[in-house]
Structure formats: structure tokens, C-alpha cells
Chains A and B, each alone.
Chain A
């Protein structure tokens, strides 16, 4: 039975990756996934050695062969994305890849080449194997790449007899986050005690509920606003989310990042490191991670 913990936050910059990297050194027999394919950062702390790299192919993009084009205007009429200019050139950024112009062109003058829109990697780190990826600049299909990273992570865990996937998720509630949460055992929601932290956590918690994945809330930098921390925790309890702990504001997180280490390595005796260890224990002991009955008995 492989269980996956996905770290999300709604709002960006609340400390997802710093906490994921710290969890990585506490994890036993797991596989790491970086599902923030747009602006991946986990590799900056874990310094993975790439074992294999693979192209990530997205959909097609329309390309007009101007020598065969008779300027009839059909493609301009059918394109809903304003991606074709008056002089019959396709703007590859605006093109949605629907291929309607390709199929409707009476001259068959439009090609639809498949695009490489990123890369994904199987790597080794000091804490175990890692699957990560890089989406090309200005590309679409981030959800598809997130799904691929998690699927490859799961296959690797199966092949190596590992029982845990630890996934660093993307910010927001849109396409890549939707692709990151489905099928996870638990979401660790990292929140900062600010009005925007609360607002954004509420939205991402709703998304977790929408997909039926239990959420566990950790408040980072809790001492910046204790009143807000209490408000966040009260809301979480009301929504039947678990509470796994409060991490103090500690500049060591930034110093650790500069040293390419996690907080457990950089400042093992700090309060922050101690809290992160306790949070990890609570996550593993949570109902969300132990609710499968018979499978657990093995």
C-alpha cells in the first residue's frame, strides 16, 4: 500500500518547499515528487543527481505553410483564440492546440506538429529517489505534467518496494493543483497567519474536500500573528481538518536555503526543526494516513 502526502498552501511562499525538504530527511523508504512544475524549487535544496531525463510532449500547435495557403480566411473565422494574424501566421503562445483550423482548412495547408513542452527527471538525492520536472516557459499542460510526475513517482515506489510518496505541490487552486491532489492519502496545508494566508487556505481546503482528500493544517511563522493563527486553527477544526502544529518564524529557514540544506540539517536543535519533527510524526500518525483497515495490518 503506497500512501501519498501532498504539501499545498493555496497562497505561494508560505514555506511548502522548505517544509517538504525537511520532511524528506525524516521520511523512511519513500519517493520524493516535485509537483510544482512551473516554478520548481525542491531541487535547489536536495541537489538531485539526474539518473534519467525524458522529454515531456504536449499537444500540437498549428503552423500554416504559407506557400500552400490561399488566404481564404477560414482559419481566421474558426479560431476562437485569436491566434491567427491577418497575414496568416499562428501565434504559438495564443494557440490553444485545438486543431480546428487544421481540420477545417480547405487547402490542408496547416500542420499540427507535437511540441516538446518540458522535461521530467528521475534522480537520486541524499534522502532517496526523486521525480521532478521542468515545464517550458509560457507552456500549457502543467496539469498533465503534474499527473505524469506523480504517476512516475508511484511506479518507482512500487518497483522499489517503497510505501510513501512525498509530493511538494504547486500554489493556487487551478489546473496543476487539481492534478496534484486527486488520489492522495493526505494534504498537508502550510498556512501563514495573514489575511491572505487564511483566505487562500480556505479555498484550497475546499478543493481538497471537493476531491475527498483529508487535510492537515500546519501554521508556519505562527508568531507573526498569534491571533490570526488561532483564527486559522479554529476554522480548520470547524471544517474537520486536522491540526499538526505551529512553526515559529525563524530566519534559519532562509539561511538554510542559501546553504542548500533543510532546516533539520542546518539548525537541528532549533525550535523550528523540533516543531517540524513533531509535525512529521503527527502527519504519519494521523487518521488520514492510517484509515485503510486491513491493508494496514500487514
Chain B
């Protein structure tokens, strides 16, 4: 089973929920083995709360073309097929702008003279480590790299290595979030009960609908703000699976890289119940 933890708005508590869920499932007997994927590759934070120890780093690259000027006849077919302006014909020479390339391979396909060769661009790294016997894989985009979906896909290649995979998704509703939610069995949405939290939750719910994945809601800092998120969830039939109150001790623990279950062990059981309920919903849909 794959559970993707997403939110729309940033800073609502995705990583908090992912880390606490993971810590609560350890030695719980509820699930044989699980792993964790941090797909918030622009700003990965999950490892900060789980202490994965020694990491192995794998660089992830993507195809970009290189032009053999000897073989190039200047026919411009490669320039014409590129919809991303990654190739340009300037002063009788084909120039490559690697940062703009989407690695579609069109240029290589249309070149009749074998003048396009393979080069690569680094997208970033996947850092792999272990937390009490459970693997964690963290995507970390290279600073200056714009395209995160191919790196997210590289992190997700690890999702079949365990019975349960927890994905920490990026904020927003555009392509990186979609890359982190597609194919999941369940999307756990985390929001805060504020106008910003509500607005972005509505967008996230629309995105989940586009993908047709069952979803449920965690309301974090549930006693700050107003009642509109709860009303919205009820009107949408979005089940509220957990409410986490605002407590200064939780916020302070978070600031030090500690989890709720560290400062309030009674929350372990609540996160286990959260998992059990998700498993029931997924089972019922299957």
C-alpha cells in the first residue's frame, strides 16, 4: 500500500504527520515492513525528524543532447522538433541549452546524420538510509535545477520494496505534487483551519479528484483559526481522520527536530489508529 501525504499549502504539517506515523508504526505489529520516501525534493525535511544515520547517495541524471559539429549538416530538424527551445540554430551552428531540455529524445530521433549524442544533466541525488530497520529514500534536487518530476519518479522507484510506503509530498497542486500522488492508494491531506489552509485544501482536493484516489484529512493546529475547514470537509464527504491541537510543546519539539510521539507518547496509539482507518478505507475500495 502506498500512502501519499500532501497538503496544497506548505507548512501545515505533512512532514510532522509522516514522521509520527512512521515512528508509531515501528514495532507496532500493524505492518510487517514499510519504507519512507521524501518526495518533497526541493525542500526535503523528513530525515531531520528520523535520524537515518549513514546515507548512500545516488546521483540522478537525465538525458540532454550533445551535437557532433563534424556530422551536423545544419538541417535544423532537431531545432524544429524541440518544443522547449533547448536547441537553437545560431550562425550555422546548433547550440544546446541543457537547462531547458525535457529529455524527450526528439532531436536524437529526427537527426538523420547521427550528429546528436547522449550527454546528461544532474537533477540531484537520492539519499538512502535506515531508520530502525526501515529504509528512507530522500530526493534532493540540485540547486538551480528547475524540473523536479523526474527526480520524484526516481525516488518512487523504491516504492515496491516494502509492504507499505509512506510518501512525503511537496506543497502545491502542480506537476511535482501530481508526480508524488499518482498511483498512490490513499492521499492523506494535512491542513490547518485557516483561510489559507482551506483555500489550498480545496485545490488539493480537486487534484486528488483528477487522479481518482481516495483521500482523508488531518487537521493540524486544530484549535487555531476557524470552523470553515471542518464545514468544507463535511460538505465534501472528506473524512476527518485526526485532529492535532496547537500546543506550544509540540511546536517547540518540532523546532528541535523532535516528533509529537517523543514528547507525548500517548499519541503513538492515535497515529496507529490513523493507519488502521486508512487501511480499512483502502481495503473497502479494493
Measured CB to CB, the residues of A under 8 A from B are 10-14, 17, 38-39, 41, 44, 59-60, 78, 80-81, 93, 96-100, 103-104, 135, 137-140, 142-143, 170-178, 192-197, 199-200, 203-204, 206-207, 210, 224-225, 228, 251, 254, 257-258, 260
Do residues B9 and A257 form an inter-chain contact, with CB atoms below 8 A? no
Q: Tell me if B8 is interfacial: C-beta within 8 Å of chain A.
A: yes
| Cross-chain contact of B195 among A135, A172, A257 (Cβ < 8 A) | A257
Ordered by A's residue number, 27 sampled pairs between the chains whose C-beta atoms are within 8 Å are A10-B43, A11-B43, A13-B12, A41-B199, A59-B83, A81-B104, A93-B178, A96-B104, A98-B102, A137-B173, A137-B207, A137-B210, A138-B178, A139-B175, A142-B175, A143-B146, A178-B146, A194-B257, A195-B48, A196-B43, A199-B43, A199-B48, A204-B43, A210-B143, A225-B252, A257-B196, A257-B225
Q: Which residues of A sit under 8 angstroms from B143, Cβ to Cβ?
A: 173, 203, 206-207, 210
Q: Tell me if B131 is interfacial: C-beta within 8 Å of chain A.
A: no
Q: Which residues of B sit under 8 angstroms from A143, Cβ to Cβ?
A: 146
Chain B, residues 1-21, CB within 8 Å of chain A (1/0): the string is 000000011111001000000
Do residues B45 and A138 form an inter-chain contact, with CB atoms below 8 A? no
- For A40, the closest partner residue in chain B by CB is B199
A-B contact count, CB below 8 Å?
Answer: 180
Do residues A39 and B255 form an inter-chain contact, with CB atoms below 8 A? no
Do residues A100 and B102 form an inter-chain contact, with CB atoms below 8 A? no
> B4 → chain A, closest Cβ, in Å?
14
Q: Which residues of A sit under 8 angstroms from B147, Cβ to Cβ?
A: 174-175
Give Cα A78 to B108, complex, Å: 11
Do residues A97 and B194 form an inter-chain contact, with CB atoms below 8 A? no
Sort chain B's interface into a size bin.
35 or more
Q: Which of B228-283 contact A (CB under 8 A)?
A: 248, 251-252, 254-257
> A261 → chain B, closest Cβ, in Å?
11
Q: Which residues of B sit under 8 angstroms from A178, Cβ to Cβ?
A: 144, 146
> B157 → chain A, closest Cβ, in Å?
13
Do residues A11 and B11 form an inter-chain contact, with CB atoms below 8 A? yes
Do residues A80 and B9 form an inter-chain contact, with CB atoms below 8 A? no
> B111 → chain A, closest Cβ, in Å?
13
Q: Which of B156-212 contact A (CB under 8 A)?
A: 170-176, 178, 182, 192, 194-196, 199-200, 203, 206-207, 210-211
Do residues A99 and B256 form an inter-chain contact, with CB atoms below 8 A? no
| Cross-chain contact of B174 among A12, A38, A195, A257 (Cβ < 8 A) | A38
Do residues B195 and A173 form an inter-chain contact, with CB atoms below 8 A? no
Beyond contacts A39-B203, A41-B9: 7 other A-B pairs, Cβ-Cβ < 8 A, are A12-B43, A78-B109, A99-B83, A138-B173, A193-B255, A224-B248, A224-B255
Do residues A254 and B83 form an inter-chain contact, with CB atoms below 8 A? no
Would A98 and B104 be within 8 Å (CB), given that A135-B174, A225-B256 are in contact?
yes
Would A174 and B145 be within 8 Å (CB), given that A78-B109, A135-B174, A203-B43 are in contact?
yes
Chain B, residues 24-57, CB within 8 Å of chain A (1/0): the string is 0000000000000000011101001100000000
Give Cα A178 to B8, complex, Å: 20
Q: Give the 9 A-B residue pairs with the shortest CB-CB distance, closest first.
A: A12-B10, A13-B11, A98-B104, A172-B42, A225-B255, A38-B172, A195-B257, A175-B146, A100-B106
